[in-house]
Amino acid sequence: MRIRYENTIEDLLAFSLHFHQKSPTLRKHRLWVVICLAIMILGMTFAASEVTGDPIVFWTGVIGAAVIVVIYPRLYRRNVKRLSSRLYAEGQNRALLGPHVTELRDNGLFVATDFREGVVFWKGIERIESIPGHTFVYLSAMSALVISEHSVFEGSYQGFIEELQRRWRLAHGA
């Protein structure tokens, strides 16, 4: 079973955003950043309210800390997208972008572009995650093959992904 599709920068950015949202390490990091920012704001405004004797200064800090907690996730996503776009712009990414042929074989997943081809054995695939429009076949903790649903021009995306997951589960005893 095989599909043919074309990856764009937007597909690579979808992976980058997904990775940053799902990584346990990055999630902990974001939580610590938000907590530290909120504590710093509260600490500074508490000190300022003690110096000035005006409790409104502290309550302004409480509101500011709450705003940080609410808007930080959105700012983080925007920053990840902006930085990832810049990083991808540093190279041509010919092996990642453009037409792909991906085929399920007995020994693993065959992937070919105009610039690379090879088989990833079933045991070499760490995990498979899908979001609306994309499936990410993780080859390591930080890298994945990106299969974009919207750009499939040959084969059935849904059928391919279902069979891919079935074969991966068989190989991993899941």
Confidence of residue 100 (pLDDT cuts 50, 70, 90): very high
Q: Which domain holds residue 53?
A: 13-89
Among 72, 89, 106, residue at a domain's last position: 89
CA 99 – CA 155 distance, rounded (Å): 14
pLDDT confidence of residue 91: 84
Strand pairing report for 98-104 and 152-154: unpaired
**What is the per-residue pLDDT across 116-166, written as a single tens digit (0 to 9) for each?**
999 999 999 999 999 999 999 999 999 999 999 999 999 999 999 999 999
Q: What is the CATH number of the domain that holds 154?
A: 2.30.29
Question: Whole-number mean pLDDT of the chain?
Answer: 94
Based on the fold, state whether residues 144 and 117 are members of the same structural domain: yes
CA 127 – CA 69 distance, rounded (Å): 31
Tally of domains within the chain: 2
Two tokens, residue 127:
């995990």
Among 89, 118, 140, residue at a domain's last position: 89
pLDDT confidence of residue 93: 86
CA 46 – CA 53 distance, rounded (Å): 10
Entry pTM: 0.84
For the chain, give the percent of residues with pLDDT over 70.
100
Among 89, 121, 149, residue at a domain's last position: 89
pLDDT confidence of residue 30: 92
Please give the average per-residue pLDDT across 87-103, as a whole number: 90
CA 15 – CA 93 distance, rounded (Å): 15
Confidence of residue 167 (pLDDT cuts 50, 70, 90): very high
pLDDT confidence of residue 141: 92
Contact in structure between 80 and 17 (CB atoms under 8 Å): yes
Greatest CA separation for the chain: 74
Q: Is the pLDDT at 174 greater than 90, yes or no?
A: no
Whole-angstrom CA distances from 30 to 35, 69, 79, 141, 156 are: 9, 10, 13, 18, 37
CA 27 – CA 75 distance, rounded (Å): 14
